[in-house]
Amino acid sequence: MSEELGEREKEVLRAVVQEYITTGGPVGSQHLSRKAEFDVSSATLRNVLADLEELGFLEKPHTSAGRVPTDRGYRFYVDTMVRLKDPAPKDRELIHAGLVQESNLGDILHEASRILHSLTRHASVVLTPRPEAAVFYRVEFVRLREDRVLAVLVGPNGQVQNKVITVDFPITSDELLKASNYLSELLREVPLEEARERIRQEMDQEQALYNALTAKALKLGAAATDLQTSESGRVRIEGTGSFLEQPEFADVERMRALFRTLDEKHKLLLLLDRVQRAREMQIFIGAESEFSAPGELTVIASPYGSREAVLGTVGVIGPTRMNYQRIIPLVNFTAQVLSRVLEQS
């Protein structure tokens, strides 16, 4: 794509994108001619703008002389023109201090989302880990009624999964404690999916190998680790009100369409899953994803996790007219700190 543009075209495209990001208004040749870096006539700049429009990098939003970047224009700008730097020291300190003070996984992820929204003034998004990927250190059982038991799976970072189990066999409080100790040893520090497989393998062995207590413990363990969750429920968005501050969404119908889009979490889930599988930051501009129409939204997301596995993603959703040079490093740094905090917990 870069070979299509000469140096002047590139500089004009850069100027249009940066000006539009700053002002939100279409950029015309007369405005550009007043900039010190362009020592050419307004007519020359008008011709360059027309060429960029013909190539698909710019478009006219209406009959005015000004132009705005297209998805293709933003993509070229992000890929070839943005010079990324580390976030400012005060921003790095804010992110680090906010995340290290939390110990519970849910609180850590909520704080990461809150900080990103605060720093970028765009909606933040977090994809939480799948239950199947969770690792638990202990299984505990609490009797609720004669035929009801609460299973509590305790993991690192204060992570807890609860499930109420209906039991169809008699079991005493002492047996519940012994079952807890047995299962905690059997399932210690293995992902939930592997824990379920271990229980299935144990149950498939000759029943004569087990006493009655072991059989009860395995039944409880099978029920406790059968955790169901809505996939779209893993997507958490914070700060959608920030779109009300953007002039491009001032139109009521456009705003309604935007919030309908944000409610379709299954589409956003597919997008964030792509980031998780790629194991690196991804930037989706406008119609590059099924989540957004052309020229509407940009999603910047980065994976987080441990050395062994990627657990989820964290990022921001904003208008395509966003400050990429500032926001990309903030998302990347937040994901890095989030991963370090989870490693050390």
- Other C-beta atoms lying within 10 Å of the C-beta of residue 231: 13
**Based on the domain organization, do 158 and 15 belong to the same domain?**
no
**Based on the domain organization, do 106 and 239 belong to the same domain?**
yes
- Radius of gyration of the chain from its Cα atoms, rounded to whole angstroms: 26
**Based on the domain organization, do 125 and 141 belong to the same domain?**
no
CA distance 98 to 255: 32
- The closest alpha carbon to 82, from 338, 327, 345, belongs to 327
The tokens describing 314, both together, are: 């964290």
**Residue 131 confidence (pLDDT):** 64
The tokens describing 116, both together, are: 């990103």
**Based on the domain organization, do 115 and 182 belong to the same domain?**
no
**Based on the domain organization, do 264 and 307 belong to the same domain?**
yes
**Residue 148 confidence (pLDDT):** 87
Provide the domain limits for residue 31. 2-80
**Based on the domain organization, do 334 and 258 belong to the same domain?**
yes
Whether the CB-CB separation of 231 and 129 falls below 8 Å is answered with: no
**Based on the domain organization, do 111 and 12 belong to the same domain?**
no
**Residue 156 confidence (pLDDT):** 65
At 225 the three-state DSSP class reads coil
**Residue 188 confidence (pLDDT):** 74
List strands edge to edge, sheet with 160-166: 138-145, 148-154, 160-166
Whether the CB-CB separation of 165 and 236 falls below 8 Å is answered with: no
Q: What is the pTM of this model?
A: 0.77
Q: Which amino acid makes up residue 153?
A: L
At 14 the three-state DSSP class reads helix
Q: Helices 89-100 and 324-344: crossing angle, nearest 10°?
A: 30
**Residue 215 confidence (pLDDT):** 75
**Residue 76 confidence (pLDDT):** 96
CA distance 106 to 128: 9
**Based on the domain organization, do 117 and 239 belong to the same domain?**
yes
**Based on the domain organization, do 101 and 16 belong to the same domain?**
no
Q: Domain holding 246: CATH number?
A: 3.30.450.40
**Based on the domain organization, do 210 and 169 belong to the same domain?**
yes
Q: Which residues contact 113 (CB under 8 A, 6 or more apart)?
A: 124, 125, 126, 236, 238, 314
**Based on the domain organization, do 245 and 118 belong to the same domain?**
yes
Residues 253-277 as b or e (16 or more Cβ within 10 Å = b): eeeeebeebbeebebbbebbbebbe
**Based on the domain organization, do 71 and 102 belong to the same domain?**
no
Query: pLDDT tens digits, the chain, 345 residues: what are they?
Result: 455 788 889 999 999 999 999 988 889 888 888 775 677 788 888 899 999 999 999 999 876 668 999 999 999 999 999 988 999 999 999 999 999 887 777 888 999 999 999 999 999 999 988 766 667 778 888 888 878 888 888 776 556 777 888 888 888 888 888 888 888 887 776 766 677 777 777 766 655 455 677 777 777 777 777 765 555 668 889 998 898 888 888 788 888 888 888 888 888 888 998 999 888 999 999 999 878 888 889 999 999 987 777 889 999 999 999 999 999 999 999 999 999 988 776
Kind of pairing between the strands at 58-59 and 68-69: antiparallel
How many domains does the chain divide into?
Answer: 3
CA distance 34 to 218: 77
CA distance 246 to 242: 7
**Residue 208 confidence (pLDDT):** 47
Residue with tokens 């040079």: 325
At 311 the three-state DSSP class reads strand
